[in-house]
Amino acid sequence: MTTVETRAVVDLLGVLAYAELTAFDRLAEDARMAPTPAGHAALARMAAAEIGHHDRLVRRLGELGADPAWAMAPFVPALDGFHASTRPRTWLEGLVKAYVGDGLAADFHREIAGFLPEPDRSLILEVLADTGHADFAVREVRAAIAAEPALAGRLALWGRRLVGEAISQSQAVIADREQLARLITTGTGDVAGIGRLIDRITAAHTERMRTLGLNP
């Protein structure tokens, strides 16, 4: 890898490592809104999976000679900002955030990982692979909407707000990290390539909203 490439890889591993750490915090916090111990444990299990991923990313940062805390630091404001502005007020909002928000972030990071050399491409794809816990969120949200159809409108609004906040924070991060921005523009090839990337991410998001029974 060239120095420029290494810097972009460290950026991507850093943002992901911090994303997993904050995802742990938020899922653990939201778990406490669960109406049953089974729901509580299900969200706690999602949180536990995140910390396993975090550990693998931190290990790889160490192999690359990067200080993990230093690599994560530039992304703290954007990720903390995202979570502060999308704090779920209910158990169902927490589940929608866990499913829609994490899905969106995973898609975005997966696209960028495609531009990286090995072994980092595979590491990131593995870390982002769905751990199957998402099924739980889908089941719960669908059941709640079936019991109270009026919920669908409010939760759809919430889903759209999550995307809006995610996009605005991602733009801020990319504008601020030159190597990361270059990786994306080089990887996608041109403006049309960036457009297609955004289309793919949007399509997957729409699909997830539909899976939950929400109007995208």
Q: How far is CA 118 from CA 4, 5, 122, 153, in A?
A: 16, 12, 6, 43
Least distance CB 51 / a second copy (angstroms): 5
**Which of 41, 129, 157, 203 touches a second copy by CB under 8 A?**
41
User: Residues binding a second copy: what is the number (CB under 8 A)?
Assistant: 25
194 binds a second copy (CB under 8 A): no
The window from 42-50, 89-97, 123-131, 158-166 that contacts a second copy (CB under 8 A) reads 42-50
For residues 79 and 119, give the distance between their C-alpha atoms in angstroms, rounded to a whole number.
26
For residues 62 and 212, give the distance between their C-alpha atoms in angstroms, rounded to a whole number.
39
82 binds a second copy (CB under 8 A): no
62 binds a second copy (CB under 8 A): no
Least distance CB 161 / a second copy (angstroms): 24
What is the rounded (10 degree) CA torsion for 45, 159, 82, 135?
10
Two tokens at 130? 């769905």
- Asked whether 213 and 145 are in contact (CB, 8 A), the reply is yes
204 binds a second copy (CB under 8 A): no
Least distance CB 213 / a second copy (angstroms): 26
Instruction: Find the length of the chain.
Output: 216
Least distance CB 73 / a second copy (angstroms): 9
**Which of 5, 6, 33, 45 touches a second copy by CB under 8 A?**
45
Q: Which residue has the tokens 């995610």?
A: 166
182 binds a second copy (CB under 8 A): no
For residues 67 and 131, give the distance between their C-alpha atoms in angstroms, rounded to a whole number.
28
DSSP assignment of 115-168, as one string?
A: TSPTTHHHHHHHHHS--STHHHHHHHHHHHHHH-TTHHHHHHHHHHHHHHHHHH
- Which residue, 32 or 87, is less far from a second copy as judged by CB? 32
The window from 45-53, 132-140, 151-159, 170-178 that contacts a second copy (CB under 8 A) reads 45-53
Sites of contact with a second copy (CB under 8 A): 18, 21, 24-25, 28-29, 31-32, 36-38, 40-41, 44-45, 47-48, 51-52, 54-55, 58, 68-69, 72
